[in-house]
């Protein structure tokens, strides 16, 4: 009908099309480009809000398996549940979605418990009094949607459901312009998941792991735990960092997983150059470069003694001073790790040249 009034925002936008609206003399209507921009904004804005609401649906559904079962029973009653060995999915129409009363109630309950916007605001246009509270013109009023939606005075027991308290998208002239699209998207996706007989379960295994910074290691890496390589050429598939996601109830499991992953560590080979003083009858004294790989010492206390860590820190501090001098003796029976520690210490010293004098040249 030509004189029929637009029934939704999209129809209203389309009806406002005026090809000459970009003319300075024409002030009414929208151009095709302007309508396209407005519709695109509505669609893009709806993606994130819908995905967030779906995440909450999955969470609440996993806590209430009986709700999922009742939704599927409603779908079966309307012949909308997947049949024929999971190969045929009955199509969804506007009439089908409208007939699914319980599924719509579940969708609304998700948005009641977890509204897309937890807070909205309004500016008072005139002085008024609400529940003995004076509100003056120009004041900003913050409206906590989540608090209203869960307040027992308005939405407590079944008999206490106030229709105006259910405003997950806000209300009035400033309500979310894309709420109809969001409702349609959310309900359609939820019904589709239930159609396919998907079941969400709440298990104690609620721990997720995300690996970042993947790479392939070189063949020469420090492998202190003797890990098995992923390829025969002693190559490992590595990642640089890991994130573990968990709920409070699974904190212990996440901690255990972190400790297990911490054992799978590889380190780049650190090499230092030691100038060793040599002597022979033909050349006299000269220095010879010796490259030393740094061994991996996990805990100095474990390898040596409880006091040795303090000695190591003091020794390292002295050696890294610009004009430090002194003599330090490492003594102990053969096989106690003196040379092993020296290799470790040499690689800890930065921006200095080290000269090693063998014992047979001291005299």
What are the E-state strand segments in the chain?
119-123, 128-130, 133-135, 140-144, 207-216, 221-222, 237-246, 267-268, 271-280, 284-293, 354-356
Dig out the tokens for 304 from the structure.
């040596």
pLDDT at 126: 92
Q: What angle do CA 22, 26, 27 make, to 5 degrees?
A: 90
Q: Which residue has the tokens 């470790």?
A: 344
> Which residue ranges make up the annotated binding site for heme?
176
In this prediction, residue 312 carries a pLDDT of 78
What is the structure's pLDDT at 72? 92
Query: pTM of whole model > 0.85?
Result: no
Average pLDDT for consecutive 10-residue bins of the chain (363 residues)?
A: 63 74 61 78 65 86 91 90 67 87 90 81 89 91 82 66 67 74 85 86 73 78 78 79 80 85 78 74 79 67 74 78 71 72 72 66 57
What confidence score (pLDDT) does residue 67 get?
Answer: 92
Pairing of strands 271-280, 354-356: parallel
CA-closest candidate to residue 110, choices 143, 151, 70, 149: 149
Residue list, annotated binding site: 176
Residue that is written with structure tokens 């806000």 in the block: 170
Q: Give the residue from 299, 295, 308, 300 showing the smallest Cα distance to 343.
A: 295
Coil, strand, or helix at residue 20? coil
């Amino acid at each position: 009908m030509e004189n029929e009034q637009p029934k939704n925002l999209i129809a209203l936008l389309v009806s406002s099309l005026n090809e000459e609206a970009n003319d300075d003399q024409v002030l009414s209507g929208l151009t095709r480009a302007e309508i396209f921009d407005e519709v695109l904004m509505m669609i893009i804005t709806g993606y994130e809000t819908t995905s967030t609401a779906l995440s909450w649906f999955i969470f609440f559904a996993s806590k209430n398996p009986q709700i999922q079962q009742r939704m599927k029973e409603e779908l079966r009653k309307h012949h909308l549940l997947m049949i024929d060995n999971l190969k045929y999915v009955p199509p969804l129409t506007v009439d089908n979605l409208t007939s699914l009363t319980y599924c719509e109630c579940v969708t609304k309950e998700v948005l009641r418990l977890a509204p897309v916007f937890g807070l909205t605001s309004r500016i008072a246009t005139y002085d008024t009094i609400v529940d003995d509270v004076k509100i003056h013109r120009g004041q900003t009023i913050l409206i906590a949607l989540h608090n209203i939606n869960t307040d027992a005075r308005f939405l407590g027991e079944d008999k206490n459901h106030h229709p105006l308290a259910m405003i997950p998208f806000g209300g009035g002239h400033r309500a979310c312009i894309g709420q109809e699209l969001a409702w349609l998207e959310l309900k359609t996706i939820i019904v589709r998941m239930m159609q396919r007989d998907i079941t969400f379960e709440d298990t104690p295994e609620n721990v997720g792991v995300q690996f970042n910074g993947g790479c392939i290691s070189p063949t020469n890496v420090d492998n202190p735990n003797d890990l098995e390589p992923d390829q025969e050429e002693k190559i490992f598939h590595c990642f640089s960092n890991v994130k573990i996601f968990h709920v409070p109830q699974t904190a212990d499991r996440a901690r255990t997983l972190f400790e297990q992953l911490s054992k799978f560590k590889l380190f780049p080979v650190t090499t230092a150059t030691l100038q060793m003083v040599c002597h022979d009858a033909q050349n006299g004294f000269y220095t010879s470069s010796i490259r030393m790989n740094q061994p991996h010492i996990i805990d100095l206390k474990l390898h040596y003694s409880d006091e040795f860590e303090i000695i190591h820190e003091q020794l390292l501090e002295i050696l890294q001073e610009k004009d430090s001098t002194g003599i330090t003796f490492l003594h102990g029976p053969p096989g106690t790790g003196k040379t092993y520690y020296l290799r470790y210490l040499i690689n800890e010293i930065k921006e200095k040249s080290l000269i090693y004098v063998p014992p047979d040249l001291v005299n």
